[in-house]
Amino acid sequence: MVSFECDYTEGAHEQIIRRLVETNMEQTPGYGSDPYTASAKEKIRKAIGKSEADIYFLIGGTQTNSTVIATMLNGYEGVVSVVSGHINAHEAGAVEYTGHKVLTVPSHEGKMHASDLRAYLEGFYKEGSYEHMVFPGMAYISFPTEYGTIYTKQEITDIHDVCQEFNIPLFIDGARLGYGLMAHSCDLTIKDLADLCEVFYIGGTKVGALFGEAVIFPKGNAPKHFFTSIKAHGALLAKGRMLGIQFDTLFTDDLYFKIAGHAIEMADLIKEVFTEKGYRFFKDSPTNQQFIIMPDAKMEELKSKVRFEFWEKYDETNSVVRFASSWATKKENVLMLRDIL
Amino acid sequence: MVSFECDYTEGAHEQIIRRLVETNMEQTPGYGSDPYTASAKEKIRKAIGKSEADIYFLIGGTQTNSTVIATMLNGYEGVVSVVSGHINAHEAGAVEYTGHKVLTVPSHEGKMHASDLRAYLEGFYKEGSYEHMVFPGMAYISFPTEYGTIYTKQEITDIHDVCQEFNIPLFIDGARLGYGLMAHSCDLTIKDLADLCEVFYIGGTKVGALFGEAVIFPKGNAPKHFFTSIKAHGALLAKGRMLGIQFDTLFTDDLYFKIAGHAIEMADLIKEVFTEKGYRFFKDSPTNQQFIIMPDAKMEELKSKVRFEFWEKYDETNSVVRFASSWATKKENVLMLRDIL
Amino acid sequence: MVSFECDYTEGAHEQIIRRLVETNMEQTPGYGSDPYTASAKEKIRKAIGKSEADIYFLIGGTQTNSTVIATMLNGYEGVVSVVSGHINAHEAGAVEYTGHKVLTVPSHEGKMHASDLRAYLEGFYKEGSYEHMVFPGMAYISFPTEYGTIYTKQEITDIHDVCQEFNIPLFIDGARLGYGLMAHSCDLTIKDLADLCEVFYIGGTKVGALFGEAVIFPKGNAPKHFFTSIKAHGALLAKGRMLGIQFDTLFTDDLYFKIAGHAIEMADLIKEVFTEKGYRFFKDSPTNQQFIIMPDAKMEELKSKVRFEFWEKYDETNSVVRFASSWATKKENVLMLRDIL
Amino acid sequence: MVSFECDYTEGAHEQIIRRLVETNMEQTPGYGSDPYTASAKEKIRKAIGKSEADIYFLIGGTQTNSTVIATMLNGYEGVVSVVSGHINAHEAGAVEYTGHKVLTVPSHEGKMHASDLRAYLEGFYKEGSYEHMVFPGMAYISFPTEYGTIYTKQEITDIHDVCQEFNIPLFIDGARLGYGLMAHSCDLTIKDLADLCEVFYIGGTKVGALFGEAVIFPKGNAPKHFFTSIKAHGALLAKGRMLGIQFDTLFTDDLYFKIAGHAIEMADLIKEVFTEKGYRFFKDSPTNQQFIIMPDAKMEELKSKVRFEFWEKYDETNSVVRFASSWATKKENVLMLRDIL
């Protein structure tokens, strides 16, 4: 059955697969000290316009979030996130497992408002007993957010300005980064992102790779011995070149952006089809996740024909459902929706 | 340059690669709830003769060790290992990072003696102030060990008996399991292992897979909600079928054992070549890692022709070096050694 | 300057001090294995009507909360608290430092509603991806709350019923327990509390002792080797009898309840004085903490005459301030308020 | 029964008790922001000759060790201790509980040799795969050691020089500091100690106080927000003045050193008595702990007359026993030994 359930149902982009096959029996040293990894790093440095960037490849999102956050925070600090942030809601407490609290501010369709962050930070230091509380030591946002929304350049600039003022790093979770950057309404480039944060990652798992997240410290500001911290978190891949080859491929001839762009086209088509059929959207998402309001009866009927995700109840007789496109979505499958809706 | 540096220099066995290619564009649900993973589990259950076994697939060895150990121990417990155990020496403190101490007993060429374990446990409970100390809550051994040695069935039985007597689980790190089981002198089967411990894992990373370790709780004794613990440790692979496909392939037609057997043949050939050339062995290793005593001058010369690992100084003018074979070692490369030694 | 700032400004009740002096040069074994500690435990067992209770003495509240919570939770679990709960707001992340998330439900003047707890727990298990989330593994409430409010017997019964239904323990933070139990409107006894939870503690630090919290597992249900967990948390007092002597004194002739009752009388008097002077109360608190609305100008003026705590802004020209009574509050000091208000 | 079992069997020195009584009903703010604490810090700064020192008061030794170590180490670091070090052997894994490994070097009657430390550090950085290992991030020694032995000034200087060379802090556990400094053979002053380490503590629990350890960062080098780290470790005392008053008293008119000197006199007398009676000593301890070789039969007989600690078996018919003196030891009790030996 065709699935629009999420953006990690397939394997990897064919060019990645091809290169994994071609290089399969080569012998290289482990843990990322191979030439493919070196090449991937160079290509990413070029793409983000930061020759001094420190880059590390990890395997998955939760792992990356907890490793980065635990390593960059001091013992007395927590990380500020919106309530709906992935680290707060859906990572099984991986951040807390490392000993740090997730401090929350309100979510605005998944986004953090700079004003909320400022209010939190100002409020914290005004509090008489703040030394008895968890210091806000980092801000975490996702781009795009868990609701498919994206920040404008101004919005991230504002958040970053607040962070700078309070001297805390900004960490951008880019598990779906490509889909955010290729959204029609996006006014940010990857170079802008690299300017506007202390650490971010380029998600591979959801954008064309079998797995892999490229963690970037744009100013060469990786924590000391970050390699060892990765190892201690159980996040070090023995055959590190698997990550190098995948990202080297994704950052050759802009493949990463092209395939992310394809997902956006497919999301546009999904929107078109649903609109045509008279459906309303729960949120106006510019990225690869589309949230549609659907009568419960229809939803039940549809389940036997196509896979998608129930998101939440909308009202007594309607639900919100999510249809996700990805780098791998086939146009004919979207068009097929027309026939079954 | 040809490398005998370690057993994870290549990608994956061609049959694995082929299946990854074939299945690449299929759509499956994530996190191990796909049919390939289910099939792999069934095949492993058959191979170990335990239909009730709980099986989970993780990505790498250090991650597996720390996740299993942290999840099975109580807060007041540590894990007993030989000094040279991988968890004690080469995992960047990943076990301690989860809050648990590694308690050590002497290493006998990498192996734990049941008598040392018993002495430790008896000594602990005799100690007047043991309630002020870390309780020994698990025994950890590796098979084969970090020195390439293997346990006899009797030796593991003895260790397991001590564990049973003191009511602690035995955990067997099988990162190189195949190479141990296929050693000529091995009198243990994988079914025996499953009988003689509470948890063990079948290493894929070093035996034919791109990555992956199959964690087995033979008696259906997985800790409650182990899935969530895997997630909290950042060890959950989104595209879980990558692990399923690999282990399904490895456990089809005994591929895992066949390719491990090939590594042993190649290790035999390495032994033969070095013996022929008059070299002595540091240890008599029955598995895929061979430890050779080599004059320092020769070692330096050889470095320009072939890759291998310096292990330790032997005496003033000689060193111990390690040559490792693997599932991927080519016979012609070993024979080439003859010409350059 | 007289202080109503909090309830731990003085040392200990004179009877405690007297016994510390009397016993000072006696020699007893350490870590709580002395006769005073044994006697204190017996008296508490009698007071709560549970001869089978396990009792441990710790030093302070934050320490007690993190030690109890970390020891009773499984690795994949967090603790449910109201947002304003002490563990969530004012313990510097001590719970998270042990690796566990604090999961929050709304606060109703500091209290948890059973219906909110039920909604949280039901919602959790209805969530499709709950295995990717932190399991709610315990409920935490404080009695009285951080806002001085108290639960009725029915309210705690309802919360406990929900806990039982979902098979999670209820933990009651009794840092100010005496002040709650002695409130005029309190319909609960300490025996009721012991029936209605799996663990609670009797606060000494704020009710007559120099320091000390008596942790009680009413059904003899202390976690295995809890003594060692206390030690590992750095919470074990070498000269344990200091705790034993204090609690033995507090539970001789109902001293604990008598001195808590005195604090309530003094709180009544504080209420009377402020009411007389025309002040309004922010909350109607039945315990030793009184929250008064005060014009900012008056507040500033008063600061030079008496110590109290600024709580929060009420509106543009008024603030909420807290006046706390305690076991040590002198009547003449409260009456003095009359003159300076 | 008279006890020589350890050095924390009594309460506190009478001058401390007197001041606790005198100040009991005073009202002071909490958490160490009271004038007694301020005064105690000033007196200690004078005693150690460091006006810039940062000083914090914690409650007990294990708590102090784990809080200091966890706060000063980076995530990828462990602490180097001798095998017999208190943190390695008798603290229930409190250091590991914070996520850090205790790395061990040989014990020489409880002492660390600078040469062993150097060998460890040099060996670590020579190891090819050291990035996969726990970085040695601090050296920990105790003064006096767990065996009652003390370092010479030269020995500590040598250890500190190695630390400086490798850029790691030296931490000196002074749980029994007074007894070391007052030993006849001690050639170190407390000012020397403050020069020769980055952090140390002055033990109160075993030297005259009810409880309390004064942690000193001699160069004003306390970790940022150390107060909050203390809180997060559950180590913050609400009525902080209890610590202030005790240390203020101990550092008035050299009381700390005088009462420690008394313990040494009493240890001398213990030595004299046992020597007189023909006993041999297991170790030549210059401090308050004396280790005597005693026939097992005699040991059993003596147990009914006096309390002391069994240390270990010496040979088939003899044991090593420990007799400890302290600030509180009465001369008549030691002389009584003469009659019963």
* A268-300 per-position pLDDT tens digit: 999 999 999 999 999 889 999 999 999 999 999
- State how far residue D271 is from chain B, nearest Cα, in angstroms: 25
Q: CB–CB of C93 and A102 under 8 A?
A: no
Q: CB–CB of C92 and A134 under 8 A?
A: yes
User: Which ipTM did the prediction report?
Assistant: 0.96
What per-residue confidence (pLDDT) applies to D83? 97
Among A165, A92, A175, A192, smallest CA distance to A140 is for A175
**A66: pLDDT strictly greater than 90:** yes
What are D132's strand-pairing partners? Answer: none
Q: Rounded to 5 degrees, what angle do the CA atoms D172, D173, D179 make?
A: 105
CA distance C224 to B77: 11
From chain D, the residues in CB contact with C62 under 8 A are: 231, 234, 236
Among candidates C3, C229, C238 on the partner chain, residue whose Cβ is nearest the Cβ of D8 = C238
Among candidates B92, B132, B310 on the partner chain, residue whose Cβ is nearest the Cβ of D132 = B92
What per-residue confidence (pLDDT) applies to B128? 81
What per-residue confidence (pLDDT) applies to C127? 84
Nearest-by-CA chain A residue for B59:
A237
List chains touching B (3+ CB pairs under 8 A).
Answer: A, C, D
CA distance B280 to D62: 50
Q: CB–CB of C235 and D63 under 8 A?
A: yes
In whole angstroms, what separates CA D336 from the centre of its chain? Answer: 28
pTM reported for the whole predicted model: 0.97
Cβ contacts of residue A43 below 8 Å, gap of 6+? Answer: A247, A248, A251, A252
Q: CB–CB of D225 and A71 under 8 A?
A: no
CA distance A275 to D170: 69
Q: CB–CB of A90 and C310 under 8 A?
A: no
What angle in degrees, to the nearest 10, is found between the helix axes of B14-23 and A14-23?
170
Among D203, D59, D312, smallest CA distance to C242 is for D59
Among D339, D263, D272, smallest CA distance to D302 is for D339
What are D172's strand-pairing partners? Answer: D141, D200
Write the burial class of residue D140 (CB in 10 Å: 0-12 exposed, 13-18 middle, 19+ buried). Answer: buried
Query: If residue C319 lies in a helix (H) or strand (E), which one and from where to where?
Result: strand C318-324
From chain D, the residues in CB contact with B89 under 8 A are: 133
Among A282, A283, A301, smallest CA distance to A341 is for A301
**DSSP labels, B239-289:** STHHHHHHHHHHTSTTHHHHHHHHHHHHHHHHHHHHHHTTPEESS---SSE
List chains touching A (3+ CB pairs under 8 A).
Answer: B, C, D
From chain C, the residues in CB contact with D328 under 8 A are: 25
From chain C, the residues in CB contact with A90 under 8 A are: 129, 132-133
What per-residue confidence (pLDDT) applies to B54? 98
Average pLDDT, whole number, for chain C?
Answer: 97
CA distance D72 to D171: 10
CA distance C297 to C51: 55
Q: CB–CB of D9 and C27 under 8 A?
A: yes
Length of chain A: 341
Query: If residue C54 lies in a helix (H) or strand (E), which one and from where to where?
Result: strand C54-58
From chain D, the residues in CB contact with A135 under 8 A are: 225, 228
What per-residue confidence (pLDDT) applies to B158? 98
Q: CB–CB of B101 and D93 under 8 A?
A: yes
Nearest-by-CA chain B residue for A236:
B60
Among candidates A206, A229, A239 on the partner chain, residue whose Cβ is nearest the Cβ of B205 = A239
Q: CB–CB of C9 and D20 under 8 A?
A: no
Measure CA of the first residue to CA of the last residue in chain B; give whole Å.
15
- Residue to substitute from A69, A72, A131, interface D, most D β-carbons within 10 A: A131
Backbone CA torsion sign across A81, A85, A89, A91? negative
Among A203, A56, A58, smallest CA distance to A144 is for A203
What are B219's strand-pairing partners? Answer: none
Question: Residue B3 carries which DSSP code?
Answer: B
Buried b (16+ CB within 10 A) or exposed e, A115-134: ebbbebbeebeeeeebbbbb
CB D110 within 8 A of CB D142: yes
The token pair at C31 is 């870590």
Strand runs (DSSP E) across chain B, as ranges?
54-58, 77-82, 102-105, 135-142, 170-173, 199-203, 213-217, 280-281, 289-295, 309-313, 318-324
The token pair at C74 is 């499984």
List chains touching D (3+ CB pairs under 8 A).
Answer: A, B, C
Nearest-by-CA chain B residue for A234:
B63
The token pair at C284 is 């109607």
What per-residue confidence (pLDDT) applies to B127? 84
- Residue to substitute from C132, C311, C312, interface A, most A β-carbons within 10 A: C132
CB D215 within 8 A of CB D57: yes
What per-residue confidence (pLDDT) applies to A209? 98
Segment D130-139 shows an average pLDDT of 97
From chain B, the residues in CB contact with A205 under 8 A are: 238-239
What per-residue confidence (pLDDT) applies to D32? 97
Q: CB–CB of C62 and D234 under 8 A?
A: yes
C vs D, Cβ pairs < 8 A, gives 140
- Residue to substitute from B72, B130, B228, interface C, most C β-carbons within 10 A: B228
Q: Note the pLDDT tens digit of each residue in C46-97.
A: 999 999 999 999 999 999 999 999 999 999 999 999 999 999 999 999 999 9
- State how far residue D276 is from chain C, nearest Cα, in angstroms: 27
DSSP strand pairing (B135-142 vs B77-82): parallel
- State how far residue D92 is from chain B, nearest Cα, in angstroms: 4
What per-residue confidence (pLDDT) applies to A90? 95
Among A8, A61, A22, smallest CA distance to A245 is for A22
CA distance A6 to B29: 8
Q: Note the pLDDT tens digit of each residue in D177-221.
A: 999 999 999 999 999 999 999 999 999 999 999 999 999 999 999
**D127: pLDDT strictly greater than 90:** no
Q: Note the pLDDT tens digit of each residue in B241-299.
A: 999 999 999 999 999 999 999 999 999 999 999 999 999 999 889 999 999 999 999 99
CA distance B243 to B249: 10
What per-residue confidence (pLDDT) applies to C128? 81
**DSSP labels, D121-157:** HHHHHHSTTGGGS-EEEEEEEESS-TTS----HHHHH
Q: CB–CB of A75 and D70 under 8 A?
A: yes
CB D96 within 8 A of CB B96: yes
CB D177 within 8 A of CB D143: yes
Q: CB–CB of A89 and C310 under 8 A?
A: no
CA distance A247 to A202: 9
- State how far residue A22 is from chain D, nearest Cα, in angstroms: 29
CA-only gyration radius of chain B, Å: 20
**A80: pLDDT strictly greater than 90:** yes
Q: How confident is the model at residue C213 (pLDDT cuts 50, 70, 90)?
A: very high
Q: What are phi and psi of D56, to 5 degrees?
A: -135, 145
Among candidates C99, C132, C225 on the partner chain, residue whose Cβ is nearest the Cβ of B76 = C225
From chain B, the residues in CB contact with D89 under 8 A are: 133
Strand order in the sheet with B213-217: B54-58, B213-217, B199-203, B170-173, B135-142, B77-82, B102-105
Residue showing tokens 């880059």: A55
- State how far residue B236 is from chain C, nearest Cα, in angstroms: 10
**Chain D: which residues have CB within 8 Å of chain A?**
70-71, 74-76, 99, 131-135, 224-225, 227-229, 231-232
Longest dimension (CA), chain B: 63
Cβ contacts of residue B109 below 8 Å, gap of 6+? Answer: B145, B147, B149, B283
CA distance A278 to C255: 73
Cβ contacts of residue D229 below 8 Å, gap of 6+? Answer: A75, A76, C92, D67, D70, D71, D223
Q: CB–CB of D229 and A70 under 8 A?
A: no
Among candidates A89, A90, A129 on the partner chain, residue whose Cβ is nearest the Cβ of C90 = A129
- State how far residue A277 is from chain C, nearest Cα, in angstroms: 28
- Residue to substitute from B25, B28, B71, interface A, most A β-carbons within 10 A: B25
Among C68, C55, C74, smallest CA distance to C95 is for C68
Query: If residue A65 lies in a helix (H) or strand (E), which one and from where to where?
Result: helix A61-72
**B107: pLDDT strictly greater than 90:** yes
What per-residue confidence (pLDDT) applies to A283? 87
Q: CB–CB of D11 and C29 under 8 A?
A: no
Answer left, alpha or beta for residue D268, where phi above 0 means left and psi between -120 and 50 means alpha. Answer: alpha
- State how far residue C316 is from chain A, nearest Cα, in angstroms: 17
Q: Which amino acid is at D206?
A: K
- State how far residue D117 is from chain C, nearest Cα, in angstroms: 27
Residue showing tokens 């964690």: B215
Residue showing tokens 């927000």: D225
List chains touching C (3+ CB pairs under 8 A).
Answer: A, B, D
Q: How confident is the model at residue B8 (pLDDT cuts 50, 70, 90)?
A: very high
Segment A84-89 shows an average pLDDT of 96
**A10: pLDDT strictly greater than 90:** yes
Distances (CA, A) of C335 to B102, B317, C179, C305: 61, 91, 21, 14
Segment D131-156 shows an average pLDDT of 97
